Amino acid sequence: MKQRVKTVFLGGAAVLAGWIAWGLYSTWSTESVPYERLRTVDGVELRRYPETVTVETTAPDGRTAFRRLFRYLSGANASGQSVSMTTPVETQGESIAMTTPVRSRSSDTATANDTDHTDGMRMAFYLPADYDPETAPEPTEPAVRLRVEPETTVAVRPFSWYTPEWRVRRMERQLRSTIRPEGITPVGEPFLLRYDAPLTPPFMRRNEVAVAVDAD
């Protein structure tokens, strides 16, 4: 009996260690969008992001949105370029690396400049810094589009574990209540940033709620 318990315990420990190792590898192997850290206010970080190019879509749910964008990275683009979710896959020509974070928000917060008003989840992948509006390959799916994000100042509140809607909304309220007394003015609606692969252990996940703010 004791031997069986010991075997189960060691097996569970090995699985946990492998799970953690996978989380560390996926985090280490994925490029992140660079930014300049400006200052920190009570756990909220102010950052300045450079101009970036994103590929985005709006779909009835997050799974559909993610699959559309993954197909783009897998070759559903005018150049037929291909990518792995964690490291580039070498093909004929170039390969595109997926960068983090993955950006998403409900489409009910879409701005007046949005061209896709489909109800559901709006999701975007940031393309690597090597790509600009002229060199980023055009999507071949009509529901997928490229967008140029200008240089932006954002306020960001990090948190871990999973991202159910109720928890994201609570973090958004905390973000707003932190920056309001500092005279920091939001520009637009908050959005969610996720940095990890789906199999990353919840206690290792890096998430952030963010909102663009007045640069002044």
Q: If we measure between CA atoms, which residue out of 168, 158, 183, 51 comes closest to residue 121?
A: 168
Residue 41 has pLDDT above 70, yes or no: yes
What superfamily in CATH does domain 53-147 come from? Regulatory factor, effector binding domain (3.20.80.10)
Spatial separation of the C-alpha atoms in residues 99 and 4, rounded to whole Å: 44
Domain edges within the chain = 2-48+151-212, 53-147
Q: List the beta bridge partners of residue 145.
A: 56
Angle at the Cα of 78 from the Cα atoms of 28 and 101, rounded to 5 degrees = 25
Note the pLDDT of residue 139: 93
Note the pLDDT of residue 100: 67
Residue 95 has pLDDT above 80, yes or no: no
Half-sphere exposure at residue 51, Cβ-oriented, CA atoms within 13 angstroms: 7
Backbone dihedral region for residue 48 (phi beyond 0: left; psi -120 to 50: alpha; all else: beta): beta
53-89 pLDDT, tens per residue? 888 888 888 788 888 988 998 889 988 876 434 322 2
